[in-house]
A and B are shown apart, each in its own frame.
Chain A
Amino acid sequence: MTLLRDSPPSEPPAAPSRPRHLSVLDNIYARRLRGRTVMAILAIAVLLYLVGGPLFILATSTFQKNEFGLPLSAGSRWTTENIQTVFGSSETYHVLVTTLLFALGSLIVAFIVALSFSWLIERTNIPCRNLLFVLVVAPSGMPLLITSISWSLLLNPTNGVINQFLHAVLGIKFSAYSLPGMILVQAFGMVPLTFLLITGSLRSMNGVLEDAADASGANRWRIVRKITLPLLTPALLGALIYEFVNSVENVDVPLVLGLPGHITVLSTTIFNNTHPATGLPDYGLSSTYGLLLLILALGPLIVYDRAIGSGGKYATITGRVRRPTRIDLGRWRIPMFIGAMSYIVVSFLLPLLILVFASIQPFYSGVNKAAFGKVTLNEWRNIWHTGSVGMAIKNTILLGVVVSVGTMLLSVMIAWVIVRARSRFIWILDLLAFMPHAIPGVVIGLSVLLLYLMLPLPIYGTIWIIVIAQSTLYVSLGTRLMGAAIAQTQVVLEEAAAASGAPMRRIWFRVIIPLIRPSFFNGALLVFMASMQNLTLPLMLSSPGNVVLSSLIWDRWNYGLPTQAAVLSVVMTAITVTIAALLRGGSGTRDTV
């Protein structure tokens, strides 16, 4: 069985009697097919290398141990010791429960907020809907690390601004270094994407379906229960699964807010085992925790797949669609608007302001009269001369450009083969490209780390190891985006070009690429932004030589230099919010992920 639909038949040797032009055409045809087959094989090979390799190493090193903590090396032996250690310790169960509480808590908060905003903006006559839309989505430009830092500045128990205020007025304090604090900040961070995922389906929902229920005699509540929610279920479940993986894989909030309060979740356990404050890293133990996290993340996904199925992944809405009617909020219009704006002020504006304020303090010690007297731009001037800042900026740009362009090129290739090929074996490619979507970033980081500790490739400790890890992480996103884009361009456009005499190469350059260019750029920008914001991988794979902005900010913050961290945070937020705004102008924002 051949892999591609048009694979060449076993070519018989050219008969000598055949006219010459035929054999020439034969060769050209064979070459075209080889090109197409090579493309599919290359895509599978690259994916196997990026996705399969690390996971294999992870699984293997779970069952290995030696005294240096480095599995698959001299002196390591096969054992179930790691498993016994992990499951024999009550600490593990405590961490598991904390992880689940953290994930579920933040999911609940994020979904309530996101659903409310989606409903208000898409289905009611609340004023300034476009402004609200932009303001809800804008925080997606703020990396979770920076959100966490600013909430630490706002809500830390000693000199957090809000705590100072609460203490003065009500005599109470609320610590950010607690599980509720972590849940709140994680939820703030997840609201923009959750909102985007839900609002898209709410917006594209066909109002006629609700009208039909109305005309069949259903009241408003029954329409919501019997028509609207069932129609939204796939989108809601999809968003839920996606954000669940997000909340268990992130190290940002657990590091910044969990560490001071001694609250450990699975992702920080993995990180701590590979980057211990003292002693040698225990990669075997870390792998076991990684495997546990992988199972935790995959579980809901399998349930989701069973419930919804992946059949309609690229389904597009056809037929005449009518926008649903908006609900008149009446006298609640203005109060609702004020409520919505207050959320935005608290979740986005306050953190932004405190960062700016912290960046112009010699040493941040709360907001008070004395602090205003000490305002200085010293750090803004001096920081650029610190050696690692220049390197971090250079590395960040290099990382972002290579990862976004590389990942998107790979994604286009994979997506085209998946969408256009009619082979029975394409599901292998589909599955491989989908896998990273379900693998927590911290697990990818760990696996890639292990792989290049073993492999004699000189990329450990360089920026390139992060490039590879991030490419693995974002190839699912890229493939999904490009898959949708290619599925939207009709195959007849390519066939018409072939029938007009265009060979495959020219079909690519004249038809396929121009048609998917907007989606490609939007996708590349999205990956660039994600790459910049990502802390997990740069941290898991960090070395002095490959520091990027996100890991540098964490480093400065962790080192007790809040002013420097604040300056860098303001710079980075400015860049990523700008990119997020550029994305808005692009085409594909609403159907990302």
Chain B
Amino acid sequence: MTTAIEVRNLHHRYRGAGDHPPAVGDVSFEVEENQFFTLLGPSGCGKTTTLRCIAGLEKPDSGEIRLGEVVVVSDRTFVPTHRRDIGMVFQDYAVWPHMTVFENVAFPLRMRSNRRVRTSELRNKVMPMLEMMGMTQFEKRRATQLSGGQQQRLSLARALVREPEVLLLDEPLSSLDARLRAQMRTELRRVQRQLKVTTVFVTHDQIEALSLSNEIAVMQDGNIVQQGRPRDLYFHPDSEFVGNLVGAANLITGVIHTVGDVDSDGIRRLEVATDLGTVVCEDASEQALDTGMSCSVLVRPEAVLMHHSEPEQRENIFVGRVDLGLFIGEGVEHEVTVGPIGLKIKVPTSVRFRRDDKVYVEIPSKSCVVFAQ
């Protein structure tokens, strides 16, 4: 596979930001061709600035960006946005209200030449695009007469119509309501697969990031803190920050009691003294761990098991009391008090737990992730 996008040592600070830290500190990454690459992070982490630098809407203070074979940003080069081979979708749709649906999509094609292009010449490009988005019947409508979801589909069609080397998506789903968002998520992935266009996607929503991406880079305070495939990030986050960002998590603080030997799979067994009691964890990381270090243990709510009666022959069993149960259809989210702390536990609907029930909480050692402090 070849590299479609390369970002090297990108650094940018906004004018007038004063003593604030730079929007982008020192960011480097590569995106392989046809991949769906996501920049995930809370607001203000620099993900949108990074994307705008790739688009040329922001001029970084330093760093290098290469799109395909073309160096678009370097010390001596800055290719303006309209000369970059990109398509971009914005959060607030950004469809032009003074043009029809057809004209919005045709616009990038018209920009290819300096002469006036006849509409008939553009139809064979525009109409398939509209068809793909299921919008052929709106062709002659004003863009402003469309619903939010339709506007965003139009915006996607406009970004894709000139078959760009790179598709840039700046939180394209966050202006839509929940149901539409789920629908557009599926559609976005389908279209991206179909057209095989290298995509950079910016979002703060972990579900969008996990479900759409081949690769995710998590950003914090202007830097990438972890990069990897969705499953790696979810199950093996490097830090509490990443662990919390990509999904709901229980964090239990404690002190490392014993550190076992690394086995043939690269896994160490740890015993951590916590407020719950001793928790046995299987650690797959290569971090330096030693007896007496304070640490925190992350475990996902759906990984924790809950029993009415005490299971036998299991480790990490703790007695607790159900505080709260939220029925959410696909399961039940419980708040369970175990000793001095509360745990979030998500269980299937098949077994019913009631408030004040005494329960046996099981934390599988495989599901624990340990972060040394």
A: residues with CB less than 8 A from B are: 5-6, 11-12, 14-15, 18, 21-22, 25-26, 28-29, 32, 422-424, 490, 492-493, 495-503, 506, 510-511, 514-515
Closest to B97 in A: A515
Extra contacts besides A492-B91, A495-B94, A501-B108 (17): CB < 8 Å: A12-B75, A22-B71, A25-B79, A25-B83, A26-B78, A492-B94, A493-B96, A495-B55, A495-B88, A496-B90, A496-B94, A496-B96, A500-B107, A500-B111, A502-B82, A502-B107, A515-B96
Bound CA–CA A493/B158 (angstroms):
13
Q: Does B87 contact A (CB under 8 A)?
A: yes
Query: A490 and B83: CB pair below 8 A?
Result: no
Residues of A within 8 A of B98 (CB): 514-515
Least CB distance from A438 to B in Å reads 27
Query: B81 and A495: CB pair below 8 A?
Result: yes
Total A-B pairs, Cβ < 8 A: 97
Residues of B within 8 A of A26 (CB): 76-78
* Chain B 1-30 near chain A by CB (<8 Å), digits 1 or 0: 000000000000011100000000000000
Q: Does B230 contact A (CB under 8 A)?
A: no
Query: B79 and A498: CB pair below 8 A?
Result: no
* Chain B 51-91 near chain A by CB (<8 Å), digits 1 or 0: 00001110100000000001100011111111110111011
Bound CA–CA A492/B152 (angstroms):
14
Bound CA–CA A334/B223 (angstroms):
70
Residues of A within 8 A of B90 (CB): 492, 495-496
Known pairs A506-B111, A515-B97; A499 contacts B71 (CB<8 A): no
Bound CA–CA A29/B78 (angstroms):
7
Query: B79 and A501: CB pair below 8 A?
Result: no
Bound CA–CA A239/B97 (angstroms):
33
Closest to B14 in A: A422
Query: A29 and B79: CB pair below 8 A?
Result: yes
Closest to B161 in A: A500
Known pairs A12-B76, A515-B97; A500 contacts B162 (CB<8 A): yes
Q: Does B159 contact A (CB under 8 A)?
A: yes
Residues of A within 8 A of B221 (CB): none
Closest to B75 in A: A12
Residues of A within 8 A of B96 (CB): 493, 496-497, 511, 515
Query: B15 and A424: CB pair below 8 A?
Result: yes
Query: B80 and A423: CB pair below 8 A?
Result: no
Residues of B within 8 A of A18 (CB): 76
Bound CA–CA A499/B85 (angstroms):
9
Closest to B108 in A: A500
Which residues in window 87-113 of B have CB below 8 A to A? 87-88, 90-92, 94-98, 107-108, 111-112
Residues of A within 8 A of B242 (CB): none
Q: Does B210 contact A (CB under 8 A)?
A: no
B: residues with CB less than 8 A from A are: 14-16, 55-57, 59, 70-71, 75-84, 86-88, 90-92, 94-98, 107-108, 111-112, 155, 158-159, 162, 168
Bound CA–CA A526/B65 (angstroms):
49
Query: B76 and A15: CB pair below 8 A?
Result: yes
Least CB distance from B50 to A in Å reads 15
Can you name 23 A-B residue pairings with CB atoms under 8 Å? A14-B76, A15-B76, A26-B76, A28-B80, A28-B83, A422-B15, A492-B90, A496-B155, A497-B96, A498-B81, A499-B81, A499-B84, A499-B86, A499-B87, A500-B108, A500-B111, A500-B158, A501-B82, A501-B162, A503-B82, A506-B111, A515-B96, A515-B97
Least CB distance from B158 to A in Å reads 7
Query: A498 and B162: CB pair below 8 A?
Result: no
Least CB distance from A425 to B in Å reads 11
Bound CA–CA A198/B56 (angstroms):
44
Residues of B within 8 A of A515 (CB): 96-98
Bound CA–CA A424/B80 (angstroms):
23
Least CB distance from B53 to A in Å reads 13
Query: A6 and B59: CB pair below 8 A?
Result: yes
Residues of B within 8 A of A495 (CB): 55, 57, 81, 88, 90, 94
Query: B77 and A22: CB pair below 8 A?
Result: yes
Choose from A21, A29, A496 the contact partner of B80 (Cβ within 8 Å): A29
Residues of A within 8 A of B16 (CB): 422, 424
Residues of B within 8 A of A15 (CB): 76
Query: A499 and B111: CB pair below 8 A?
Result: no
Known pairs A12-B76, A422-B16, A492-B92; A498 contacts B107 (CB<8 A): no
Residues of B within 8 A of A503 (CB): 80, 82
Residues of B within 8 A of A29 (CB): 78-80, 83
Bound CA–CA A15/B15 (angstroms):
29
Closest to B168 in A: A499
Residues of B within 8 A of A6 (CB): 59
Bound CA–CA A510/B162 (angstroms):
18
Bound CA–CA A30/B307 (angstroms):
69
